[in-house]
Amino acid sequence: MTDSDLVEVSQKIGAAFVSAAPDGWRTGEMLFVQVGKTSEFQASARVGDGLSVPFRVAPTTVRAFHKLRTSMAEPGRGAWFTARCQLEAPGKMKLDFDYDNEPEWSTPTSVGHYLEEWERHPRDPEHTPEWLAERLRQAHEWDAQGSR
pTM above 0.95, yes or no: no
Concatenating the DSSP letter of every residue in 121-140 gives S-B-GGG--HHHHHHHHHHH
Full domain range(s) for residue 14: 3-144
Q: How many domains does the chain have?
A: 1
Q: What is the pLDDT of residues 39-98, one digit of tens each?
A: 999 999 999 888 999 999 999 999 999 999 999 999 999 999 999 999 998 889 999 999
Please give the average per-residue pLDDT across 103-112, as a whole number: 91
- pLDDT for the residue numbered 99: 98
Using CA of residue 8, residue 35, residue 102, residue 41, what is the dihedral sign? Answer: positive
3-state secondary structure (DSSP) of residue 141: helix
- pLDDT for the residue numbered 79: 98
- pLDDT for the residue numbered 28: 96
115 class by beta-carbon count within 10 Å (0-12 exposed, 13-18 middle, 19+ buried): buried
Q: What is the CATH number of the domain that holds 61?
A: 3.30.500.20
Helices (H) and strands (E) in the chain, counts: 4, 5
Report the share of the chain in percent with pLDDT over 90. Answer: 76
